[in-house]
Amino acid sequence: MSARKICIVGLDAYGLLSGEGDLKYIGGETVQHVLLARAWRDLGHDVSIIVHDDGQGVRRVVDGITTIAAHRRLAGIPGLRFFHPRASKLFAALATADAEIYYQSPAGAFTGITAWFCRMTGRKFIFRVASDSDCEKEHARLPMWRDRRLFHYGLHRADVVAVQTAVQARMLEDNHHLPSSVVNMLVEPPPRRSADEAEQHKDIDVLWMGNLRALKRPELALELARQLPQVSFVLAGGPLPNAASQTYFDDVKAAAARLSNVRMAGAVRYTDSGAWFDRAKVFLNTSSIEGFPNTFLQAWIRGIPVVSFFDPDGLIRRLQLGAVSNSVDDMREAIRGLLDVKPYRDNVGRRARDFVAREFTGAAASRYFELLDNRPVRAGFGATDGGTVP
């Protein structure tokens, strides 16, 4: 395959890519942006990422990947700053990148801006679904009408729509009559250790990790800790950077302080998260909505079973990679069974590690180019504003 010039719109990626600045709030899509950029670089492609201007300079090469600064995070006048500097600076950064292919996620107004730039300049556009909510009919999780309309515009004008699961593909077909393709995510493998070395570090029975916000439902992890007083729990994660999230975090922290078997680790840098997974026997997810969590891959690549309400494409149940629960009571018994029967936990862990090591490798990065090169002609490809091919 010949080298491609590709640009990722990943505004929060600079800190994780460079290791600079405050890395306490790193979302799952940012992790994927950086892992994908590195995978494409390793395949010999020319990769750039459009990032926030955090004072690092307009253009900087980090580890063989070019970063292009758009706007400062809080610059501009509220009510007007969407247009300038956010939209205007993003458009300028897209032009500066001068790429053949542009990749953007998650859902939002910038999906539409990136799609419009690509249509006006004859470039290819890949949109990557980051959550099941991206596939909903009304895009209700985007709070502003403007953002919903711009996202809808961009979604329907992508050359390739990549999804995390077959469930998301069905949702897009049902809600938007759009074809899409499942493309596996990437995971960073941990350092190699023998089974005995790994077991020596297992001093956390149950690990919960994520940004501490209401839809992640960390209070359910605390309820499980109340019901399993002999089991050690660690909740790792910090609040989103706003006052309401800080209040929610403080409430959860106060509740956790009343439980002797719970430790609140606070915000954890992504680069430090692997060390917490290395110490865990079971990974717990209590979210009300997900896409395909990076944390599942981080757990499975280390041979750690996942206990969750959410089961992407039925993988956990179908491949026996942990336990899927319908209630807190189910979750409690699943955790108890995995912790009490080590051979069972080890077998689940081996299946999980083998599955992720086989399916979620850097080779998945080439899949995007295969889809672009073999895409079918459909409404939206090279279309006019009406969305149909003449």
Over its length of 390 residues, how does the chain's per-residue pLDDT go in tens digits? 688 999 999 999 998 998 886 655 577 889 999 999 999 999 999 999 999 998 999 999 999 999 999 999 888 998 899 999 999 999 999 999 999 999 999 999 999 999 999 999 999 999 999 988 899 998 888 989 999 999 999 999 999 999 999 999 999 999 999 999 999 999 988 887 766 666 778 899 999 998 888 889 999 999 999 999 999 999 999 887 777 788 999 999 999 999 999 999 988 888 889 999 999 999 999 997 777 889 999 999 999 999 999 999 999 999 999 999 999 999 999 999 999 999 999 999 999 999 999 999 888 899 999 999 987 644 333 333 333 222
Strand order in the sheet with 65-69: 59-62, 65-69, 46-51, 5-9, 101-104, 124-128, 160-163, 181-182
Alpha helices in the chain (DSSP H): 13-18, 28-42, 88-97, 109-121, 145-155, 166-176, 195-200, 218-227, 243-257, 270-278, 294-300, 315-319, 328-340, 342-359, 367-373
Q: Looking at residue 332, what is its pLDDT?
A: 97
Rounded CA gap, 182 and 179, in Å? 10
Q: Which of the 8 DSSP states describes residue 190? A: P
Taking the CA of residue 39 as centre, how many other CA atoms within 13 Å lie in the half-sphere pointing to its CB?
A: 23
State phi, psi for 102 to the nearest 5 degrees.
-120, 135
What are the residues whose beta carbons fall under 8 Å from the beta carbon of 185, sequence distance 6 or more? 32, 164, 292, 294, 297, 360, 364
For 230, the enclosing helix (H) or strand (E) is: none
Nearest partner of 128 among 35, 239, 210, judged by Cα = 35
What are the residues whose beta carbons fall under 8 Å from the beta carbon of 229, sequence distance 6 or more? 260, 261
Q: Looking at residue 123, what is its pLDDT?
A: 97
Nearest partner of 294 among 63, 104, 130, judged by Cα = 130
Q: Are strands 233-236 and 322-324 parallel, antiparallel or unpaired?
A: unpaired
CA torsion sign, 373 to 188 to 265 to 233? positive
pTM score of the predicted model: 0.87
Burial profile 36-66: b = 16 or more Cβ within 10 angstroms, e = fewer: bbbbbbebebbbbbbbbbbebeeeeebeebb
Q: Looking at residue 195, what is its pLDDT?
A: 66
Rounded CA gap, 26 and 35, in Å? 13
Rounded CA gap, 321 and 340, in Å? 17
Give the position of tokens 């600076």: 89
Q: Looking at residue 377, what is its pLDDT?
A: 47
Nearest partner of 7 among 142, 104, 138, 109, judged by Cα = 104
Cβ contact 51:69 at 8 Å: yes
Instruction: For residue 112, give Cα distances in angstroms to 119, 126, 313, 321.
Output: 10, 12, 28, 37
Burial profile 159-198: b = 16 or more Cβ within 10 angstroms, e = fewer: bbbbbbbebbbebbeeebebebebbbbbbbebeeeeeeeb
- Burial level of 77, CB count in 10 A (0-12/13-18/19+)? exposed
Q: Looking at residue 140, what is its pLDDT?
A: 80
Rounded CA gap, 210 and 310, in Å? 14
- Burial level of 321, CB count in 10 A (0-12/13-18/19+)? buried
Q: Looking at residue 194, what is its pLDDT?
A: 65
Cβ contact 349:329 at 8 Å: no
